């Protein structure tokens, strides 16, 4: 049994218990049946692998999200103040930024973190570059500085 199957099973059981909150024998039997059925279908779909169960990330992820939350609040303030400006003066930009090789998982975290912070949206991810549309040019400079990329890289290893 692969470690990913094990972690998925655990995840499914937690998900079921958290949702259900009922501790009756019948519900337990049905829950066990459901978990087995889902595992069967998932393995037929071939969705159980290190991409869907990124176990190697778990130890560093809380610190990363704490940092991301701070970034999120900062950029929110910036975008909200732009929205309420009397006369809109925007400097949107669309730039392709080079980056060194990241695993697929790393790309997903990086790209989604960029999209998650308001003011920047990832429009394209390729092997060694990432295209970003930004509401304001300064956000592009922030990304180019590589602070986020370095953190994702640390997470990825």
Residues that bind another protein (CB under 8 A): 8, 11-12, 15-16, 18-22, 27, 30-31, 34-35, 37-39, 41-42, 44-45, 47-49, 51-53, 72-73, 76, 79-80, 82-84, 88-94, 104-105, 107-108, 111-113, 115-125, 131, 133-135
In the block, tokens 């949107």 appear at 92
Are 112 and 153 within 8 A, CB to CB?
Answer: no
Determine the Cα–Cα distance for residues 30 and 27; give it in Å rounded to an integer.
5
Q: How many CB atoms lie within 10 A of CB 99?
A: 21
147: Cα separation from own chain's centroid: 17
What is the closest distance, in whole angstroms, from the C-beta atom of residue 11 to another protein in the complex? 8
| Closest to another protein by CB, 52 or 60 | 52
Q: What separation in angstroms does the CA of 11 have from each of 19, 29, 62? A: 12, 17, 18
| Closest to another protein by CB, 27 or 97 | 27
What is the closest distance, in whole angstroms, from the C-beta atom of residue 47 to another protein in the complex? 4
What is the closest distance, in whole angstroms, from the C-beta atom of residue 144 to another protein in the complex? 17
């Amino acid at each position: 049994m692969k470690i990913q199957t094990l972690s998925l099973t655990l995840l499914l059981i937690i998900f079921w218990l958290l949702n259900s909150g009922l501790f009756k024998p019948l519900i337990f039997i049905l829950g066990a049946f459901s978990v087995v059925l889902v595992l069967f279908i998932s393995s037929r779909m071939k969705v159980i692998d290190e991409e869907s169960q990124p176990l190697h990330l778990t130890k560093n992820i809380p610190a990363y999200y704490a940092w991301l939350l701070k970034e999120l609040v900062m950029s929110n303030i910036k975008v909200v103040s732009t929205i309420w400006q009397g006369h809109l003066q925007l400097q949107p930009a669309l730039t392709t930024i080079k980056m060194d090789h990241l695993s697929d998982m790393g790309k997903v975290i990086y790209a989604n973190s960029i999209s998650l912070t308001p003011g920047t949206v990832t429009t394209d991810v390729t092997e060694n570059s990432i295209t970003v549309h930004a509401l304001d040019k300064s956000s592009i400079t922030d990304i180019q500085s590589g602070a986020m990329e370095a953190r994702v890289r640390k997470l990825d290893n």
